[in-house]
Chains A and B, each alone.
Chain A
Amino acid sequence: MASLVIMPRQGQSVESCIVSEMKVKVGDNVAEGDILFTYETDKSSFEEKAKESGTVLAVFCADGEDVPCLDPVCVIGNPGEDYSSLIPGKEGAEPESIKVEVTVASEKQAEASQTGNIGVIEERLKISPRARHLAERTDADISKAVPTGPNGRIIERDINALLDKGLTLSSAEVAAEKTAETVATPVAVPEAEYEDVKIPNIRKVIAKSMHDSLSNMAQLTLNTTFDATQIQAYRAALKDNAESLGLANITLNDMVCFGVAKTILNFKDLNAHWLDDTQMMRYFKHCNLGVAVDTPRGLLVVTVPKADTLSLNEFSEAAKQLVSEAQSGSISPDKLKGATFTVSNLGSLGVESFTPVINPPQTGILGVNTITRRVKVVDGKDVFYNAMGLSLTFDHRAIDGAPAAKFLKELVKNLENFNLLLAK
């Protein structure tokens, strides 16, 4: 009995994925567990493994193709087997996502004109060449356009309306389109002592996000250090007893994160989203703490939901799980969004100070630096101690320097008195 392999849905918000590479072709024999294809969302990439052994009877997608979730990708079965009954869904499944637009479009259309019909007919988007060009130039998200042209055609003014509302395509979709274009026009390059490598989608997403962040916000960074004596001591104690107490391998970073989660709710401007569209600030009741992770594919930020409600151990375990998923590339895109504040650690790499870049629409990010030996005067005598650096970047649009500094000061106090914090 042949079985259909579909594009898995990776999280509720994901409507389609790009096939990175089809690893099999028609006629190939596959064993259970063999990788059939790799695919990616705008945030991560995945492998789809064969759930059973057999022969690849059909392949519906090509490398780089944007495939709606739940659409068929390939069929595995016995040679010669009739699998046609498996794939009527191709036509049935696709309009599902479009039908929503149809309804919206026709309602709006009825208001705008009595003559028009609908924007999408027989799965074809009706859009004028002029509107399409404008959309391409501006990355406007055509799927959100309300057609007001004759017969439900999207015309120029509809794209302008999108742009007024800021409804542009997500970066991954743009990247996918651009990729297609690049492939279509190969350019003869003379042999050179360099290698041109296509920028991976995830890189493009990071690039866009970071560039947007720096170009749109009023970011600045405050640096400070704190005496890490107590957390180092506490960590040493934990390490010794981790096994017997069944605790996770709690790191210094976990402890800083824990400190942030417990401190930040008093500084609501830093546990917030700056919403450009609506000119609103969104304040969060809990701290969904983003933790930046260096993965083989690039920077990812995993989100530990409601970190302020977790014990140190709970936090550490949750974070470890997420980091491991991110590093293996199997993380659900849903776990990569929704953070209210982010912690990024370069201290393990010896960095003493840096300017972390905020993930919009968050208003702040804390950089954790390495530990250095410092001297302080205690009772008139010079005393050496281990100082850990903290770099807080905040969006000056959302919060002023003094309150931000106050957050840092309280965080420093809490970390220096970690034992007391644990009691909170």
Chain B
Amino acid sequence: MPKSQFIDPREVLKPGKIQFKDIQVNQYNKTIEEEVKIYGKETLMRIYRDMVAIREFETMLNLIKTQNAYNGIEYSYPGPAHLSYGQEASAVGMAYALDINDFTFGTHRSHGEIIAKGLSAIEKLDDEEIYEIMKNFLGGKTLAVVEGKEENKGCVKDLAFDFLLYGALAEIFGRETGFSKGLGGSMHAFFLPFGIYPNNAIVGGGVPAATGAALYKRVNRKPGIIVANFGDGATGRGPVLESFNFSAMDQIKKLWHTTEKDGYNAGLPIIFNVYNNFYAMGGQTYGETMAWDMLARIGAGVNPEQMHSERVNGLNPLALIDAFQRKKKILLDGDGPVLLDTITYRYSGHSPSDSSTYRTEEEIEAWRNFDSIENYKNRLIDGGIAEESEFEAIQEAISKRMTKICRLSTDDDISPRIDLERNPDTIASIMFSNEHKEIMEEGREPDVLIPMEENPRVKKIAELNRYAYDEKGAKYPALRTYNVRDALFEAIIDKFYKDPTLIAYGEDNRDWGGAYAVYRGLTECLPYHRFFNAPISESAIVGTAVGYAMCGGRAIVEIMYADFLACSGDELFNQLAKWQSMSAGLLKMPVIVRVSVGSKYGAQHSQDWTALCAHIPGLKVVFPSTPYDCKGLMTAALNGTDPVIFFESQRVYGYGEQFHKEGVPKESYEITIGEPDVKLEGKDVTILTIGAVLYRAIEAAKTLKEKYGIEAEVIDSRSIVPFNYEKVIESVKKTGKIVVVGDACERNSVMKDMAANINELAFDYLDAPAVALGSRNWITPAYELEKYFFPQATTIIDAIHEKLMPIPGYTPTYNLTDLEKADRSKKGV
């Protein structure tokens, strides 16, 4: 919606046609003579070696999986092994052209890519750099296993080869010496110092993250490109298609430069490299489950550049190297993104348990005739480059090396697992990084357009009353009162002027200022690349933030309604939540997901899904509802390194500060995530609130006191994960009674969870079981009927009367009896 772009009906309504450029298919046709001239024998032989290393690695795993033995080493491995046997050339060809600064992202089938990119990196780094990397990794534990062996003495690159194979295999076998201390495993292995970014067990799951990494490179002007490796089946997934569009969205080239000092208008530097092996597990993408006929066609539907899409013969490593070199140049010229349809074929099943019922022996045999390694070898022999014996020697050396690595990786003494007997908190200690890091990249000035004090919103806020009431206790007019919006804005703009890596995006963020005007005023001071409108692509919005953080940046993304969390399920629950711990703490995830909880807008715009987020280990979840708490918690979230799902309620954006009598401080301050706050003291009954229901609880407390002489203590949970129960238990010791109330549907809600915990922790002090009170297990009805759905002040008093302490003279409005409860449960409502 930028005003700079005029949508001219005369242009838009003109007759015409869309014209496509040809998409090249398998056009590589260099002769062996040309190739020798380009690469030289040594490199050509090394390419062969790398392919053989991958095949031997996968062969070894296949034998371990199917026969529990490899070259005399017996071992049983029950975990996953998705092998790329047959696809070796595609991995080596991909990695060859990449530098250390170029990052790869992979899939569940990416052992080959790790080895290929690792060997490529080893080739490009000098010995000292390599040794430094290995020595510093996990305190040298991994290196210690392979160092000092006779066969790699004196040769750092040889040692690094062992280190790479061992680190990957130990990771697959769940060993503490593995690349992620064995906490990632086969499908999540990676090694950042070699530019190998995480693989991903969710089909297409790594693609938004890779796009986010490209965003990081682009926004922060970092050298290098991103290669998102994934399979043909993943093109059936929304997040992948969202990523295509996100990476190619018009604004990156058309608008982002307009606010850059030097007119930098490059597209996202990313190659979407599809290993098209024709099968998504057993579903045949070509001819059965997909519609594109040739995958490269997708590019034509994404942008006018057609994503520079091309089909390449991935069975020929040299064809792929050629393609990657050409495509990388396109990215470096600023014209990304690129889509590559890399043809390959796996002989092995999806996994060792796959008996290939979906294809014929004839088909597999036919592809064996195009076997990448055999054909490559024969071509070199036929071209007189090398003799059979040279290839045999390479094969023999690799086999020997792999046997050694396998032995080391399966030895429990040499490669122990993390000891959860002796250190039972090992995994608990890496679920969150809990670091305090105000600036993610020191020494770089944040890119801003004007000094903060010149910002019109900042100036306006300076005139507002930071406490809702005047000296006489009268409420200031809304327009003169500092509110929740202002509090969030203040915390966020402050960070924008400190942390150069901070970016914020979501739907309708720029110009509009966010659907609820929290961001109003940011447009004036931030360049496009730090603050932009995202497409309606919740998967890409959250998924890119994950990749952005993996690379070292900090991001605030916004989900306009909590209901839309469902559209970014994998990105929130499998990616954002898991990567810190799956990487054994090597990755940090400073991402704030702002989530607005609605009301008035019916069933798909009024849901409080705190419970979904709280259920998933690895996410911090907060839900403040006062200006003071919003600013303090947002600041804490922005100073931390953990993913925080920051729930906000649309009911209270305009509320002033009613509790913190000193008013909301102008300077920056933090509220520790996890600490609830006593908003009103009382002695007879405790009301613990989650979110905006706080104000209805205060209203209930008022009625209880005035009409019935009951003094309620109101505690605002503010945070959900983590949560410190101390204050709540203290209160329950005093009152003996507690109702936990929130706006979420009651079944399996945070209220239920907290009530259950309180019952456990304070049983002996309770006068009745802690009561959880939420909304009905219905759809949200029309605004006018909401009082029957969301808990009201009356509902809270009803619950106290019905479940905790019958109030003499009180007649409940709603039916909260046990009988009704049992009946509702029976009916599932």
Contact = CB atoms under 8 A, between A and B. Distances in A.
A67 to B, nearest CB: 29
B684 to A, nearest CB: 9
Interface string A168-206: 000000000000000000000000000000000000000
Contact of B806 (A116, A129, A156): A116
B765 A113 contact: no
A130 B767 contact: yes
Counting from the closest, the 10 A-B pairs by CB-CB distance are: A113-B806, A130-B767, A130-B736, A128-B767, A155-B767, A156-B767, A129-B764, A156-B736, A150-B803, A130-B766
A115 B803 CA distance: 10
Contacts of B764: 129-130, 133
B768 A155 contact: yes
Nearest to A117: B818
Given A151-B818, A156-B736, A131 B767 contact: yes
Contact of A150 (B736, B766, B768): B768
A290 interface: no
B804 interface: yes
Given A128-B766, A149-B805, A149-B806, 6 more contacts: A116-B806, A129-B767, A130-B767, A150-B818, A151-B818, A156-B767
B759 to A, nearest CB: 10
A156 B735 CA distance: 10
Interface string A141-173: 000000011110101110000000000000000
A150 B799 CA distance: 11
Nearest to B803: A150
Contacts of B765: 129-130, 133
A151 to B, nearest CB: 7
B766 A115 contact: no
B739 to A, nearest CB: 12
A112 interface: yes
Contact of A157 (B766, B805, B818): B805
Interface residues of B, number: 17
Contacts of A153: 768
Contacts of B805: 148-150, 155, 157
Interface of B: 736, 763-768, 801-806, 808, 812, 817-818
27 contacts: A112-B808, A115-B802, A115-B806, A115-B812, A115-B817, A116-B806, A128-B736, A128-B767, A129-B763, A129-B765, A129-B766, A130-B736, A130-B764, A130-B766, A149-B767, A149-B768, A149-B804, A149-B805, A150-B768, A150-B802, A150-B803, A150-B804, A150-B805, A150-B818, A151-B818, A155-B767, A155-B805
A273 B10 CA distance: 109
Contacts of B766: 128-130
Contacts, number: 50
Contacts of A133: 764-765
A151 B766 CA distance: 16
Nearest to B733: A130
Contacts of A149: 767-768, 804-806
Nearest to B684: A157
Contacts of B767: 128-131, 149, 155-156
B234 to A, nearest CB: 55
Contacts of A112: 806, 808
A129 B761 CA distance: 13
Contacts of A130: 736, 764-767
Nearest to B808: A112
Which residue among A113, A116, A153 has the maximum number of chain B CB atoms within 10 Å of its CB?
A113
A128 B771 CA distance: 14
A112 B806 CA distance: 7
Nearest to A153: B768
B708 to A, nearest CB: 13
Contacts of B806: 112-113, 115-116, 148-150
Max chain B Cβ within 10 angstroms of own Cβ: one of A112, A115, A133, A157: A115
Nearest to B736: A130
A113 B803 CA distance: 11
A155 B812 CA distance: 20
Contacts of B763: 129
A92 to B, nearest CB: 29
A128 B817 contact: no
A129 to B, nearest CB: 5
Contacts of A155: 736, 767-768, 805
A179 to B, nearest CB: 22
Most B C-beta atoms less than 10 A away, residue of A130, A131, A151, A155: A130
Which interface residue of B766, B767, B808 has the most chain A CB atoms within 10 A? B767
B826 to A, nearest CB: 19
A129 B732 CA distance: 13
Contacts of A148: 805-806
Query: Which interface residue of B764, B803, B806 has the most chain A CB atoms within 10 A?
Result: B806
Contacts of B804: 149-150
Contacts of B803: 150
Contacts of A128: 736, 766-768
A157 B685 CA distance: 12
A129 B736 CA distance: 9
Nearest to B812: A115
A129 B763 CA distance: 7
B554 to A, nearest CB: 47
A157 B710 CA distance: 12
A150 B763 CA distance: 17
Interface centre among B765, B805, B812 (most CB of A within 10 A): B805
A150 B817 CA distance: 9
Contacts of A157: 805
Contacts of B802: 115, 150
Interface in A293-314: none
A113 B798 CA distance: 12
A127 to B, nearest CB: 10
Contacts of B817: 115
Interface string A108-146: 000011011000000000001111010000000000000
B28 to A, nearest CB: 78
A155 B684 CA distance: 13
Contacts of B812: 115
A153 to B, nearest CB: 7
Contacts of A113: 801, 806
B323 to A, nearest CB: 72
A113 B768 CA distance: 16
Nearest to A112: B806
B709 to A, nearest CB: 12
Interface string A255-296: 000000000000000000000000000000000000000000
A150 to B, nearest CB: 5
Nearest to B764: A129
A39 B818 CA distance: 44
Nearest to B817: A115
A155 B806 CA distance: 10
Contacts of A150: 768, 802-806, 818
A116 B801 CA distance: 11
A200 B764 CA distance: 31
A157 B802 CA distance: 15
B635 to A, nearest CB: 39
Contacts of A151: 818
Nearest to A150: B803
A327 B805 CA distance: 51
Contacts of A131: 767
A273 to B, nearest CB: 35
Contacts of A116: 806
| Most chain A CB inside 10 Å of its own CB: which residue of B736, B766, B801, B802 | B736
A130 B808 CA distance: 21
A142 to B, nearest CB: 14
B391 to A, nearest CB: 78
A116 B817 CA distance: 9
B187 to A, nearest CB: 48
A113 B804 CA distance: 12
A379 to B, nearest CB: 79
Contacts of A129: 763-767
